[in-house]
Amino acid sequence: MVTATMPLKGKLDKTEVVKGIAEWGEVVEVYTDTGGNVEEIFVKQGDSVRKGQPIARLSLSEEEISKNRESAYELEQVDMDIKNAEEDCSDLKKLYEQGAAPQNDYEKRERELKSLYMKKQKLLLDNRSLSKSCSLIVYAPEDLVVSEISVHKGQKLNSGELVAKCGVSQSFKINCSVALDNNFVEEGDQCKLENSSYHFQGTVKEIKAKEGKKEVSVWIQSDKVKTGETFDVKFEKRALNLTQWYQTVHLTRTVMDIFSIR
C-alpha cells in the first residue's frame, strides 16, 4: 500500500511498507571432479565452513577400481618386458662388439628398451594419479554456509555431479513486492528493514515487473540474519518542498506568458 502525507514542514512524503523474506544473496554450488561413491559427509545444512574445509569424501567406483587393477597388471607386464629387453641388449652388445651381430640389430633393440622405459614412466604417473583419487575429498572453495546437501551416504556419483549448495557468508537479499503503480522506489535507494529481532538498512539492487506487481530485491550484509526470516521493508521518498514547487510552477508560467505576449 502506497501512502502520501503532507507534513507541517510543507513536504510531500511517499511511503510503502511490505513483507520480505531473506534469501542468500549469492549461492555457490559445489561439484565433484571425478566419479565415486559417497563414503562420508562431514557437514550438515546450516553449518558454516571455511575455505578448504572437507565437505564430503568419495571412494573409487568399481570402474575406477578396475582401472587400477588393469594399470597394476600392465605395469607388471612392462617390468617383465624391460627385463627381457635389457638381457637381449646386453647379449647383442657383446655380439656386436665381437663382430658377430650387425649394428642395426643392437641399435633397434636399444631403441625398443628406451621406449619401454618411457612406457613404464607414463604408467607410474597414471598409477600415482589413480592412487591419489582413491580417497577423493570434496572441499569448500571459499567461506560458505551450507544451505543444502544434495547427496547421501552410499550414493554413486559421476564426475561433475552436484554435492552441495552453499550461501556466501553474510550476504543476503530480501525479496518483496510493491504495487505496480509505485513510481518512487528506484535501484540504488536505501530502505529500512526490521522485525522483532533486528533493524537494518538495505540497498535496492533490482526491480522488475512481474504478474501485476514489481519485484524488488534488497541487499544487506549481516552475520545475524538467517534464510527464511521475514522482515518489514519500508520504502519512503520525500518530494520537493511544496513552497519551492509552487514557486517553480509560478516562474514557469510567468516565462511562458512573456513569450506568449511577444
Tens of pLDDT, residue by residue over 183-226, are 889 899 999 999 998 898 999 999 998 888 999 999 999 888 88
pLDDT at 62: 64
Output DSSP code: residue 52: T
Q: Of 199, 139, 145, 191, nearest to 168 (Cα)?
A: 145
Residue 58 above 70 pLDDT?
yes
DSSP 99: T
Which range, of 10-24, 99-113, 156-170, 182-196, averages the lowest pLDDT? 10-24
Q: Where are the domains of the chain?
A: 2-26+170-261, 30-59+141-168, 62-132
What is the Cα–Cα distance from 240 to 10, expressed in whole angstroms?
9
- Amino acid at residue number 76: E
CATH number of 2-26+170-261: 2.40.30.170
Q: Name the band, by pLDDT with cuts 50, 70 and 90, for residue 6.
A: very low
34: nearest Cα among 117, 158, 128, 144: 158
Most confident of 102-111, 119-128, 154-163, 245-254: 154-163
pTM of the model: 0.56
Mean pLDDT of the region 4-28 = 75
Least confident of 2-6, 40-44, 228-232, 241-245: 2-6
Q: Which of 74, 51, 71 is nearest to 60 (CA)?
A: 71
Q: Which three cell numbers stand for residue 130?
A: 589413480
- The architecture in CATH of the region 30-59+141-168 reads Beta Barrel (2.40)
2-26+170-261 shares its CATH topology with 30-59+141-168: no
pLDDT surpasses 70 at 242: no
Average pLDDT for 158-183? 90
The pLDDT score that the predictor gives to residue 232 is 94
Residue 138: partners with Cβ closer than 8 Å, 6 or more residues away = 30, 32, 54, 55, 56, 57, 58, 163
